[in-house]
Amino acid sequence: MKKVFLKSKKWEEYRHLIGGLILLTLIFLGYIIPTIITLTMMLFVSWMAIISFTGFRTALIVSGGSFLIRLALFALDKGKMVGGFSTGWMESLEVSLENCVLVSMVFGVVIWIRKILHSKRAGFDEVLGAINLYIWIAIIYACLYSIISRSAPDSFHLDAQLASGTDIEQIKHNFNEVFYFSFITQTTLGYGDIVPVGHLARSLAISQAIIGQFYVAVVLAYILNLWIRDLGHHVDKAQTPE
């Protein structure tokens, strides 16, 4: 009975709605929420999707495995990041959780897009899901930027006037700063207050801008086209005399 509910249309509607509300909450209120809680909420959203697509066991293996592997690497390397910077246990826990969110959402995005592109019909819940997926892509890149900023702090430059009140330490330790940077990069706004200067940071920013525009032009447009077509069929059916 439980599996049937997880596969039902009603559950899909609830999942997209709950996930969208959580992500909107993080966008508007993320600055007052501790990073650990922010990442945990993001992980919860990814779990709802993975469990719906592949089941609880897969979600546990993907998320739990990525978290424990990253934490074990910290323990073996005495809490050092890739760049050789030492971290405390709290920061190690945050980075491990970021790695867990990153892997979980990448896995979720792959199976989700595959499902979307095989869809022949779309309702409002699919449209809402496609919009949520756009935010997922921004979260994935935010995790990557956060890991880079911790490993190589000189990967980003802050404009002294535009980024007033923010410093590199905040970029390293406040996930919402890279979350913000990820969104302005994906939407190609580019305010210039946070600038990628490291080669890897620049490469990721370029790829995100391309993927973000490609997603809107292809995937989201495909879902909207299916939805509009279905709405047209419903209108034609309603107008056809019996």
Residue 194 bridge partners (DSSP) = 158
Residue range 102-118: mean pLDDT, rounded: 87
Number of C-beta neighbours around residue 10 at 10 A: 9
Q: How far apart are CA 25 and CA 22, in angstroms?
A: 5
Q: Which residues contact 53 (CB under 8 A, 6 or more apart)?
A: 108, 111, 112, 115
Give the 3-state secondary structure of residue 158.
strand
Residue 160, phi then psi, degrees to nearest 5? -60, -35
Q: Considering Cα of 58, then 21, then 210, then 162, what sign does the dihedral take?
A: negative
Count CA within 13 A, CB hemisphere, residue 161: 2
Burial category of 237 from C-beta neighbours within 10 Å (exposed 0-12, middle 13-18, buried 19 and up): exposed
Instruction: Please state the pTM of the whole predicted model.
Output: 0.85
Q: How far apart are CA 19 and CA 132, in angstroms?
A: 7
- Provide the pLDDT for residue 85: 56
For residues 156 and 201, is the Cβ–Cβ distance under 8 A? yes
pLDDT per position as a tens digit, 165-196: 676 666 766 788 899 999 999 999 888 888 99
- Provide the pLDDT for residue 1: 44
Percentage of the chain with pLDDT > 70? 81
Residue 157 bridge partners (DSSP) = 195
